[in-house]
Amino acid sequence: MKKARAFWRLTRLEHGVFLGIAALIGAVMGASGVPPLSLMIPVFLSPLFIEMGSFAINDYFDLETDRLNKRTDRPLVSLELQEKHALATFLFFMPAGVLTAALINWGCFFIALFFAVLSFYYSWFLKKVAVLGNLAISLSMAIPFLFG
């Protein structure tokens, strides 16, 4: 149970659930009704998975900064999880999110691919570039509605 809570904190799963719900709202609004369940499942899962991968790689890149700032709420700093767990989470969930988007349509696939790459670059270095980092975050908060 302790590892599950640490994984939840690594991925900030609640954020992913909200992004998935936003995508579902976008899908319902775009379809002027409720699309079939076979479409709604990947619409929800794709942003959820990409968000999980995004937060995992962000914690991986921020590990030294989080240690310096004594962010013991972070599972990598508190040693509840190891760096390899964050990398494995990123390497599993990021492609899973992009591939899940391909089940919807090509437009969703390309949106998911773009934002998956953007989130990696944000975690790696864009967050240090004030305007670009803020723009990346703003876009990633708005896109789930359009994605849906």
**Whole-number pLDDT of residue 10:** 94
Q: Nearest Cα to 26, choosing from 42, 14, 43, 46? A: 43
**Whole-number pLDDT of residue 131:** 86
SS (H, E, C) 64-122: HHHHHCCCCCCCCCCCCCCHHHHHHHHHHHHHHHHHHHHCCCHHHHHHHHHHHHHHHHH
Q: What is the pLDDT of residues 95-110, one digit of tens each?
A: 999 999 999 999 999 9
* Cβ neighbour number for residue 122 with a 10 Å cutoff: 24
Given a cut of 80, is residue 148 above it in pLDDT?
Answer: no
Q: Which letter does DSSP use for residue 148 in this model? A: -
Question: What does pLDDT average to over the chain?
Answer: 92
Buried b (16+ CB within 10 A) or exposed e, 8-27: ebbbbeebbebbbebbbebb
User: Hey, where are the domains in the chain?
Assistant: 2-147
Between residues 53 and 31, the one the model is more confident about: 53
pTM over 0.75: yes
What does the alpha-carbon distance between residue 17 and residue 3 come to, in Å, rounded to a whole number?
20
The CATH number given to 2-147 is 1.10.357.140
Overall residue count recorded for the chain in this entry: 148
Find the mean pLDDT for residues 46-51: 97
What does the alpha-carbon distance between residue 109 and residue 131 come to, in Å, rounded to a whole number?
27
Confidence band, pLDDT 50/70/90 cuts, at residue 33 = confident
